[in-house]
Homo-oligomer: A and B are copies of this chain.
Amino acid sequence: MPPQWAGLSPELLLSVDRDSEERLCAQLEGQLRDAIRTGRLRADERLPSSRALARELGLSRGLIQDCYAQLQSEGYLVTRVGSATRVATGAHIPKSPEAEPSPTRPHLTADFRHGVPDLASFPFTDWLWATREAARTMPTADLDYGDPRGSSALREVAAGYLRRVRAACAEPARTVICSGYAQGLGLALGALSRAGARVVAYEDPGGPAVARAAADAAGLTAVPVPVDEQGVDVRRLAATGADAVIVTPAHQWPTGVVMAPSRRLALIEWAMREDAYVIEDDYDAEFRYDREPVGTLQGLAADRVISIGTVSKSLAPALRIGWLLCPPALMAPVTEAKHASDRGSPTLDQLALARLIESGRYDRHLRRMRTTYASRRTALITALTENAPSVTLSGLAAGFHAVAHLAPGLDEETVITRARARGVGLYGMSACRASGAADPGQLVLGFGNVTVRGIGEGVAAVADLLEPSGA
């Protein structure tokens, strides 16, 4: 027994379990790797000869030799001719610091977080049916790397759907499948940046954090432009000198304003005049309650508008499927950006979505959800009217969120903090303002993923906080 090994007998260090399914050689290798990584065997330390270790463990010498050879080829051990096998230097792994815990969402009685659809209504049966059908009929070649624009089947079906339901001027050859709004925006801004754009404007209030991060990643400067009760202020937009603007025409995020016809036309006129582009986030227009949804802006000016849509609100965010409708001039750079980013979205998922839409199951799901959201919307209006009459609501024409205007004197942050302590998740408008200002105090109430009962109980639990006397 060599001295380096003293006090640490191989029996203690190594043990083999003859009943394990893992091969004996693999067991030994794993234990030796661990011993080296954790420092139990130190750099340059000498290992027993294969003959000696074989005898100690009652294994064949050939097995030990195979094991040493494997670890030698991986760089854990060093063998010199005529000398003992030793632990290589540089193979010691320092302990990792404690891992951060996974981000978890606190459990809340009622959570009015916005941007989340009713997850419990996800049509699992339809989705699995569509996946099976897609798998059954997909050509073998579709398992290869695909067209970075996306599967032609989905581009065909999605373009048809967007023409029919969103009055979009959609063609498969101008459609790129992406993984959702964030990626779609990134691809669009990347393409614009390469085409020479420098400044991108975004609506205020809106999603300043997302717009700024995406602009930053594309090397662009992001500037806010105010939204009034007609939509984005096009005169103020023109004054920024922006090369592009991100807008939510069908249902402004988060105010819920539907962009006025005159603004739609002024916006397109601006884009034509300035050789600029409009990025349309067509994010929840499927759900409109008082009338037919307003068609896309893209339908009015397909060569000036990039329209981005997803199934994150209509089905579930976890599917990660969306699309861009590209003006002719941007089709090639957007495709290239998608290829560079991830080589295209997963094909089977795309084919499943195509099946879901084609079969009419997608429309049926949307109709069902419209009823669900309509009753939640009514529940929210009723609950607030009855329990917190000083709150006024706006932005309820479409989608599944509303803006609650707090009475003067009520502090957004205080209301949110106190509600949280009672197990109710409320979210303020300040996060949507470019300035971060919390005045006037407003809440953005999502009702997509809260049940009618949850809405009633949630509002009742915090109603006193929403009244001037209660805060």
In the complex, A229 has a CB within 8 A of chain B: no
**Contact of A395 with B by CB under 8 A:** no
Query: Contact at B342–A180, with CB atoms within 8 Å?
Result: yes
- Closest chain B residue to A36 by CB distance? B300
Q: How far is the CA of A83 from the CA of B234 in the complex (A)?
A: 26
A143 touches B317 (CB 8 A): yes
Contact check: which of B143, B301, B320 meets A119 at CB < 8 Å?
B143
Query: Which B residues are in CB contact (< 8 Å) with A146?
Result: 317-318
Q: Does A389 contact B (CB under 8 A)?
A: no
Which residue of chain B has the shortest Cβ distance to A29 in the bound complex? Answer: B167
**Contact A94:B261 (CB < 8 A) given known A144-B317, A147-B103, A343-B182:** no
Contacts of A91 in B (CB 8 A): 265, 268, 300-301
Let me know if A264 is at the binding interface, CB within 8 A: yes
Query: Among the listed B172, B294, B342, which residue makes an inter-chain contact with A183, where contact means beta carbons less than 8 Å apart?
Result: B342
* Assembly CA distance A342 to B73 (angstroms): 38
The 12 sampled A-B contact pairs (Cβ below 8 Å) are A33-B299, A75-B268, A78-B261, A93-B302, A93-B303, A146-B317, A179-B345, A186-B341, A319-B347, A320-B343, A341-B341, A346-B349
Nearest 4 A/B pairs, CB to CB: A99-B173, A75-B264, A318-B347, A143-B316
A residues whose Cβ falls under 8 Å from a Cβ of B: 25-26, 29-30, 33, 37, 70, 72-76, 78, 88-91, 93-94, 96-97, 99-100, 102-103, 105, 116, 119-120, 122, 124, 127-128, 131-132, 135, 140-147, 149, 152, 164, 167, 169, 171-174, 178-180, 182-183, 186, 213-214, 217, 258, 261, 264-265, 268-269, 272, 291-292, 294-295, 297, 299-303, 312, 316-321, 328, 340-349, 449
